[in-house]
């Protein structure tokens, strides 16, 4: 049977408290980041960078298209590329 000294007992208790504290801080940070993503309306793993947002909005203003129209255009281009790749194979 192992008997811990008071110092050993404090050491174990401190390690458990440190782990619980780290876990609590991690959870709080995760919740904070999730809240920030939702506030921006971009429930994404990695939000757009400033430059990516600028490119997107400049492109929308330049062509005066809705997001849906731009996405459909990109989808059609992707289909053309896939057909060309299939023909080359």
Of 25-29, 33-37, 78-82, the least confident: 33-37
pLDDT confidence bin for 70, thresholds 50/70/90: confident
As a whole number of angstroms, the distance between CA 32 and CA 28 comes to 6
Of 4-18, 34-48, 67-81, the least confident: 4-18
As a whole number of angstroms, the distance between CA 23 and CA 42 comes to 26
- pLDDT at residue 41 above 80? no
Q: Please tell me the number of Cα atoms within 13 Å of 76 on its side-chain side.
A: 6
Which pLDDT score, from 0 to 100, does residue 55 have?
Answer: 80
Helices (H) and strands (E) in the chain, counts: 3, 0
């Amino acid at each position: 049977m192992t008997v811990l000294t008071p110092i050993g007992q404090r050491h174990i208790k401190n390690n458990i408290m440190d782990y619980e504290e780290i876990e609590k801080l991690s959870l709080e940070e995760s919740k904070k980041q999730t809240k920030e993503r939702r506030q921006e309306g971009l429930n994404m793993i990695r939000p757009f960078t400033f430059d990516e947002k600028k490119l997107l909005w400049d492109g929308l203003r330049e062509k005066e298209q809705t997001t849906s129209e731009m996405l459909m255009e990109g989808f059609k281009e992707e289909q053309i590329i896939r057909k060309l790749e299939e023909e080359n194979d």
